[in-house]
């Protein structure tokens, strides 16, 4: 029998306490290790960066077939004249476009367009769910895609409705239904939130940027991944549906149209893919605005020179609101960001209407209200891939100086089916006041990912390759720099900071008038927590680069809690040096306690 039971009990208690402290110490060190492992996010002030290439992962497929029309995400799920394919688009800081389709499209040798006035265009909306205090009415129309060639099918759309909601309050949630109340055929209730009023202190939370999306299984992964990242707006930089990878009779789409259908009398399209794409996107576009710009796959030529018919009819954009006379180019504000959406397949000559509109738009811009200036169009000017290399050099020669003069901060492009981020560049020369050009043409379309670089041995295109579908050709050898006298570089160009052949999407998060966080999310990382393919803070320097501007905002610092962390998205880890120091002190204190317990 033990004579000192209280001593044994006391010792057992000490051992349990010591074990608890050890576990606590291990947990603290583990959390510290994770925190310290997060590297600081670079900024453009750290550049220019040495070029980096991440080669295509051979364990991945370069592409996938299109989803069939029977796929649940593509099928029509409403009856009669109830709305479907509902989509939002910004009109102004106090107005929003709402578009949708009713009725059934027709396709075949003989089709008869329906009367667009047969179904009304109404939106009921208000600030409380189920309480609609306002009603707005708009326009309706149909379009035809006719092919007067033997055996080719024609198409006439359902009724496409566009309604503008005016007098909205910035930063407010609105509930709405759309349709025709007299039938009655109204949609279910949807909700959207207006952006804050333009100001150097107001910005959308997250802006998603996608290009060359299509309707494949890769496209589905892109949209699912994007939805998880919870954007407040989508910027779509062209090539939406890839309906022109089909014959008019449907069937199976091709990754290479001219290879699969060499005898086609015209570049055919299967227009029902447009309806499928609208249904595919509706879960997103019915609650956040999607701002589009045309790509080459939207040209869809018909006889008599008719082009872009589907694109121009289906999408409402703020062309008139921004002073543009064409829906192929326009501008808009999203909080303190001014977006310019340029038409690469419209006349961009310096003597043309688009150039005059662009100059006027830039001249009227007040950078003290909208400090950030972001431009987007489909084909890139700066691109080190073999695909579409120097294809739109003519557009660059016409417009680059004007964009540089007015201090464009970021340019988003698609067209090339890969990802590439440039160092700040102007006229092929590294320039700390040049825009950051970013290619995100890797949405997942049927044409597969691009893997060849123009600087790879034997991969440099000839000057006769990469001819624009619309517009002139200005291919030329470099007149200065390391590639002087050559059409291609012999290594990754110095203006190319990072490139990778993978599908994905980007997220832009503007922090303040000086800092914006850009993150590229790869599809293969969609199930990995906090994984990013590329990330950088883009930093404006208005004092340096906008000396002659009539108005500019003051530079701001990056908030301390964001200087070395991922963005504030759900699940992101924050790296706080003060927290680390306090944890170290806590560990030392706990070890002291443990030492006393262990030896007494």
The Cα-based distances of 344 to 208, 467, 483, 530, 567 in angstroms read 21, 13, 27, 35, 33
Q: pLDDT at position 566, please?
A: 39
Average pLDDT of every residue of the chain:
89
Q: pLDDT at position 579, please?
A: 45
> How many degrees, rounded to 5, is the angle at CA 545 between CA 540 and CA 546?
100
Q: Is residue 432 part of a domain?
A: yes
Total domains present in the chain = 1
Catalytic residue among 225, 297, 338, 388: 388
Q: pLDDT at position 427, please?
A: 97
Q: Is residue 536 part of a domain?
A: yes
Whole-number Å distance between alpha carbons of 235 and 293: 8
Above pLDDT 90, what percent of the chain?
Answer: 80
Q: pLDDT at position 512, please?
A: 96
Q: Around 261, how many Cα atoms within 13 Å sit in the side-chain half-sphere?
A: 20
* 495 pLDDT more than 80: yes
| Structural domain for 532, as ranges | 52-57+202-238+329-551
Q: pLDDT at position 103, please?
A: 96
507-553 per-position pLDDT tens digit: 999 999 999 999 999 999 977 777 899 999 999 999 999 876 555 66
Q: Is residue 337 part of a domain?
A: yes
2-51 per-position pLDDT tens digit: 454 444 454 445 545 555 544 454 454 444 444 445 679 999 999 999 99
Q: pLDDT at position 592, please?
A: 53
Q: pLDDT at position 560, please?
A: 60
> How many degrees, rounded to 5, is the angle at CA 139 between CA 133 and CA 144?
145
Q: Is residue 282 part of a domain?
A: no
Strands (E), 482-557: 496-500, 504-510, 515-522, 534-539
Q: pLDDT at position 43, please?
A: 98
Whole-number Å distance between alpha carbons of 567 and 558: 12
* 252 pLDDT more than 70: yes
Check if 415 is active-site: no
- Compute and round to an integer the Cα radius of gyration of the chain: 28
Q: Is residue 525 part of a domain?
A: yes
Residue 433 in contact with residue 541, Cβ under 8 Å? yes
pTM (predicted TM-score): 0.88
Report the run of H or E that residue 543 belongs to, with start and end: helix 542-545
Q: Is residue 500 part of a domain?
A: yes
Q: Three-state SS string across 366-424, please? A: CECCCCEEEEECCCCCCCCECCCCCCCHHHHHHHHHHHHHCCCCEEEECCCCCEEEECC
Q: What is the CATH number of the domain that holds 225?
A: 3.60.21.10
Q: Is residue 407 part of a domain?
A: yes
* 72 pLDDT more than 70: yes
Beta pairing, strands 290-292 & 233-236: parallel
Closest C-alpha among 380, 340, 393 to residue 496: 380
Q: Is residue 439 part of a domain?
A: yes
> How many degrees, rounded to 5, is the angle at CA 283 between CA 277 and CA 285?
75
């Amino acid at each position: 029998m033990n004579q000192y039971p209280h001593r044994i009990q006391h010792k057992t208690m000490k051992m349990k306490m010591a074990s608890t402290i050890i576990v606590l110490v291990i947990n603290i060190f583990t959390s510290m290790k994770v925190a310290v492992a997060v590297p600081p996010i670079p900024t453009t002030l750290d550049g220019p960066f040495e070029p980096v290439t991440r080669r295509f992962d051979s364990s991945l497929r370069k592409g996938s077939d299109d989803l069939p029309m029977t796929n649940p995400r593509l099928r029509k799920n409403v009856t009669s004249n109830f709305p479907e394919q509902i989509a939002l688009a910004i009109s102004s800081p106090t107005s929003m476009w709402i578009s949708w389709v009713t009725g059934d499209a027709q396709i075949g040798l003989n089709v008869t367009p329906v009367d667009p006035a047969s179904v009304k265009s109404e939106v009921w909306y208000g600030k409380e769910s189920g309480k609609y205090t306002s009603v707005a009415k708009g326009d309706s129309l149909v379009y035809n895609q006719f092919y007067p060639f033997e055996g080719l099918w024609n198409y006439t759309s359902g009724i496409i409705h566009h309604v503008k909601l005016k007098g909205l309050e910035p930063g407010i949630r609105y509930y709405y239904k759309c349709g025709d109340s007299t039938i009655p055929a109204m949609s279910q209730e949807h909700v959207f939130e207006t952006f804050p009023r333009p100001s150097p202190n107001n910005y959308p939370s997250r802006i998603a940027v996608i290009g060359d999306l299509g309707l494949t299984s890769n496209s589905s992964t892109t949209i699912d991944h994007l939805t998880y990242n919870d954007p407040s707006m989508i910027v779509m930089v062209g090539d939406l549906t890839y309906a022109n990878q089909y014959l008019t009779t449907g069937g199976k789409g091709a990754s290479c149209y001219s290879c699969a259908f060499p005898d086609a009398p015209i570049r055919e399209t299967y227009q029902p893919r447009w309806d499928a794409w609208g249904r595919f996107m509706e879960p997103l576009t019915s609650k956040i605005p999607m701002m589009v710009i045309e790509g080459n796959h939207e040209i869809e030529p018909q006889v008599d020179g008719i082009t872009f018919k589907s694109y121009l009819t289906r999408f409402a954009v703020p062309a008139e609101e921004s002073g543009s006379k064409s829906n192929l180019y326009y501008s808009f504000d999203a909080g303190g960001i001014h977006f310019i959406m340029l038409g690469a397949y419209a006349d961009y000559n310096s003597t043309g209407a688009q150039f005059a509109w662009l100059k006027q738009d830039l001249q009227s811009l007040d950078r003290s209200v909208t400090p950030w200036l972001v431009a987007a169009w489909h084909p890139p000017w700066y691109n080190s891939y073999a695909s579409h290399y120097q294809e739109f050099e003519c557009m660059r020669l016409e417009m680059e100086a004007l964009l540089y003069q007015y201090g464009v901060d970021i340019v988003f492009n698609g067209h090339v089916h890969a990802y590439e981020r440039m160092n700040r560049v102007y006229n092929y020369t590294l320039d700390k006041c040049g825009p950051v050009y970013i290619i995100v043409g890797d949405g997942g379309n049927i044409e597969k990912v691009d893997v060849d670089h123009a600087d790879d041995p034997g991969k440099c295109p000839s000057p006769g390759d990469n001819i624009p579908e619309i517009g002139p050709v200005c291919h030329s050898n470099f007149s200065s720099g390391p590639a002087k006298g050559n059409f291609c570089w012999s290594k990754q160009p110095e203006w190319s900071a990072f490139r990778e052949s993978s599908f994905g999407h980007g997220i832009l998060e503007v922090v303040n008038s000086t800092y914006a966080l850009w993150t590229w999310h790869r599809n293969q990382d969609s199930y990995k927590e906090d994984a990013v393919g590329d990330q950088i803070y883009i930093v404006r320097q208005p004092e340096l680069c906008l000396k002659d501007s009539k108005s500019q905002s003051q530079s701001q610092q990056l908030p301390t809690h964001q200087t070395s962390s991922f963005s504030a998205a759900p699940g992101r880890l924050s790296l706080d040096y003060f927290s680390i120091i306090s944890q170290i002190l806590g560990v030392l204190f706990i070890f002291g306690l443990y030492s006393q317990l262990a030896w007494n």
